[in-house]
Structure 1
Amino acid sequence: MKISATSSGGFAGLREHYEIDTRAHPAGQALEAALAGCGFFSAPPASDQAGSEALGADIAQWRITVESPDSQHTITFAEDGSEETTRWQQLVAKIRANA
């Protein structure tokens, strides 16, 4: 699986981008388990997600895409500290820690 996570906006327009191939990464299995554990693949696709619009200019927007040989799934969320996005913020933290 290939995981891509990109942020845009946020304070001073800082951008972050991470790419991990779970087949070649030492933490690959743990990242795949984190994706399954947070319900990533059952979450609505990016275009269907409500609440993904930032409320303010300093709130970062994240786009996480996972590609496998058979499929691709993308979610987006605002890093606003809300309870609804906690699982996605935790997933980004795991991706950052292993990038």
Structure 2
Amino acid sequence: MDFQLLGLSFITVFLSELGDKSQVAAIALSGSTKSPRPIFLGTAAALLLASFLGVMVGQGVAEVLPTHLVKIAAAIGFGVLGIRLLWFNQGEHSETDFSE
């Protein structure tokens, strides 16, 4: 087993999930019940399933498409999302007057 890859994927997922809306939902659910164990098991199972599906889809894509093409597509996708967020959200916020 490649422990360096295991550690890298653990750290990446752990850091990306901190403060995520799923964590906020788990906090809200656990605050409204006296038994946190089912909430922990449910959220852990959901994260495992989502990660499993991501790995399976990633493996399938890696067998069909070359890595550099996937990286280019991801870079273009992130660029389009970034431009969209910067460009189109400015118009929505400019109508709000915070000076009052």
TM-score normalised to structure 2 length: 0.24
Q: Which has the higher helix share?
A: 2
Which of structures 1 and 2 has the larger relative contact order (alpha carbons within 8 angstroms, sep 6+)?
Answer: 1
What TM-score results when the alignment is normalised by the length of structure 1?
Answer: 0.24
User: Rg bigger for which structure?
Assistant: 2
